[in-house]
Amino acid sequence: MAREIKFSLVYRDMWQSSGKYQPRVDQLQQIAPVIIDMGCFARVETNGGAFEQVNLLYGENPNIAVRAFTKPLRSAGIQTHMLDRGLNGLRMNPVPADVRKMMYKVKHAQGVDITRIFCGLNDARNIIPSIRYAKAGGMIPQASLCITYSAIHTVKYYVDLAVQLIREGAQEICLKDMAGIGRPHSLGQIVKGIKEQYPKIPIQYHGHTGPGFSVASMLEVAKHGADYLDVAIEPLSWGMVHPDVITIQAMLKDAGFSVPDINMDAYMEARRLTQSFIDEFLGYFIDPGNKVMTSLLVGCGLPGGMMGSMMADLKGMHNAINLALRQHHKKEVAFNDLVVQLFREVEYVWPKLGYPPLVTPFSQYVKNIALMNILSLAKDEPRFSMIDKDSWNMILGKTGQLPGPLAPEIVELAKKNGLEFYIGDPQDAFPDELDRFRADMKAKGWDTGKDEEELFEYAMHERQYLDYRSGVAKERFEHDLEAAKEKAGAPIVVTRPVVEIPKIEVEKVIENHPKAQPVHAPVRGQILWTYEPYGASVAPEEGSAVKEGDALCFVQAYYGVEPVRSHFTGKIVSAFAKQGDTVEKGEIIAFVE
């Protein structure tokens, strides 16, 4: 009898890998019955990871969206699953243990069956507690292996990790091939090694199509015992997303596997509906480049899910890099050449940073370091001159143990900056916080919500939840959408620097002060010239003295306050951003001469 392979539709990850926003709750309610009618999906990915944070960003309550999407699917016998970042929960930075525990009770109550738990460093210490919390909350814990390709990440490395996680209570294993760079043969051997020891443990494969391996990988893992494959549907399949279910179903059927039939009428309706969501507003925030596959990803290993944000960062930094090149009498770089340059820089810095698997949030940290290195080199400064707080936390071991050793130059840089390496359990560095949020909601007169889901949302995404409740998020999104609609035709990625600095103003400063150097925003957020805890003053006047290493001002980022330090001793000759202005990563805040 032919062995059965089941499919999971990663509907929300399709959007995450394509652009900035997710479908609204009303759109999810429209697509759910059509997904059911397709008749080929045993599972659907419904929420988790960045998806729920995105709901907040455009002013929608993610709790309502999750309940609305999971209900019809579960009623039809389809299992629902979510993306779970282990120590980081549903956000980019670590979460206190009491909030992590609460997440599983809330998500189970909202109709989510399975949690896909991963640690971007493959540190079992960040996964094992979530396995236990998930079971206590009534969910199925699916422990993930973050797949990458290096001398360290061998078949034995992954099989041993899977065995450890199964022994600690994982009921399923996922091969999370977020960049699609896992080599097909090796992936097959990983599945084989796990199944030889635990033949009844379900294994699910998740692979993005970016560099082109994933179709072959799906055949290999199926041959060696995988049970579930993550697939997509048009018009968002392929490119940086996932293989289309039609192709994978036909391939496996030919190979002799038992696979479900696809109701093509329903498939075409799902395709039409998805396209209508793109046409309505989501397409304005999709980068056309994310529909293209590229073998350049084989070397750098960047994941499909971060391509939208990466292209936005590059576009924001392009002018700043070219400005630095002009100031130092170097040839400017075209945008496409900058993309290739970034890929190469990621490939260069990755081993020096201890081979962290390039998955959220560590892919962003490695990308950020590489991008700032490119800017530093354009300014004739050494690499690693600008490293943000989150990236340092990764380097110092505060979020988990790196798979490989750090390069001596990185260790030396940490010592030079007076930073200490952390060797304890990452969770111990982040004490419980639920009582604080509960008290704050009571003081504000806010209801904690059904199954205390509003309390959970506030504790998980504090900054974004406040913006959602105040209406700021909705207002910001509507501004972004209007700006996008003013642009012509095809879907684009919209980045909206609030501080728009005309090129002529920048050139004027350079003309009057040829030795002046720009100070760039290290992250996206609000400028704070006045910030009492750190003693920042009001926005400086021209001529104000600045010392190298001093905090010129601060940026209120999503995770906290990030100082903006001057890399030069001198005086301020121009300051563009005002108190409260929003700046994009890489934007020029001021010039120092």
Instruction: Give the residue numbers spanning the domain of 261.
Output: 6-280
Q: 92 and 212: one domain?
A: yes
Two tokens, residue 516: 């002046």
The answer to whether residues 343 and 266 belong to one domain is: no
- The answer on 520 and 410 residing in a single domain is no
Q: Which of 403, 429, 455 is the last residue of a domain?
A: 429
Report percent pLDDT > 70 for the chain.
91
- Residue type at 1? M
Is 165 found in the same domain as 102?
yes
Two structure tokens written together for 425: 């359990």
CATH number of the structural domain spanning residue 514 = 2.40.50.100
Confidence of residue 300 (pLDDT cuts 50, 70, 90): confident
The total domain count for the chain is 3
pLDDT of residue 431 exceeding 50: yes
Asked, for residue 455, whether it belongs to a domain, the answer is no
The reply to whether 249 falls in a domain is yes
Q: Which of 19-33, 341-355, 397-411, 486-500 has the lowest mean pLDDT?
A: 486-500
pLDDT in tens, 229-276: 999 999 999 998 999 999 999 999 999 999 999 999 999 999 999 999
pLDDT at 536 (0 to 100) = 45
CATH code (residue 25) = 3.20.20.70
* 211 in the same domain as 110: yes
> Is residue 201 domain-resident?
yes
Q: Are residues 65 and 149 in the same domain?
A: yes
* Predicted pLDDT at 507: 66
What's the pLDDT score for residue 497? 36
Query: Same domain for 317 and 347?
Result: yes
266 and 329 in a common domain? no
Q: What is the mean pLDDT of residues 406-413?
A: 95
Q: Is residue 72 domain-shared with residue 207, that is, in the same domain?
A: yes
Contact 204, 174 (CB under 8 A): yes
Q: Alpha-carbon distance 564 to 385, whole Å?
A: 13
The H or E element that residue 195 is part of is helix 184-197
Instruction: For the chain, give the mean pLDDT.
Output: 88
**Residue 496 confidence (pLDDT):** 33
Whole-number Å distance between alpha carbons of 208 and 363: 15
Number of helices and strands in the chain (H, E): 22, 16
Contact 221, 188 (CB under 8 A): yes
Average pLDDT of 405-420? 94
Q: By CB neighbour count within 10 A (0-12 exposed, 13-18 middle, 19+ buried), where does 239 fall?
A: buried
Is 497 among the domain residues? no
Please check whether residue 98 lies inside any domain of the structure.
yes
Residue 153: C-alpha distances to residues 90, 149, 159, 161, 430 (Å): 26, 6, 10, 11, 29
Whether 81 and 146 map to the same domain: the answer is yes
Check residue 98 and give its pLDDT: 98
Per residue in 315-363, pLDDT (tens digit) is: 777 888 888 888 888 999 988 888 888 888 988 999 999 998 888 788 8
Instruction: Determine the pLDDT at residue 498.
Output: 39
pLDDT band at 122 (very low <50, low <70, confident <90, very high): very high
- Return the C-alpha torsion angle 224, 228, 233, 239, nearest 10: -50
Report the C-alpha gap between 522 and 313 in whole angstroms.
11
* pLDDT of 539 higher than 90: no
Distance CA 487, CA 478 (A): 15
At residue 499, the pLDDT reads 43
Residue 511 tokens, joined: 């003309």
Say if CB 580 and CB 530 are below 8 A apart. Answer: no
- Is 256 found in the same domain as 308? no
Identify the pLDDT of residue 535: 45
- 553 lies in a domain? yes
**84 occurs within a structural domain:** yes
Same domain? For 300 and 189 the reply is no
In tens, the pLDDT along 554-579 reads 776 654 567 777 767 888 887 777 77
What band does 592 get if pLDDT is binned at 50, 70 and 90?
confident
| Residue 411, pLDDT above cutoff 90 | yes
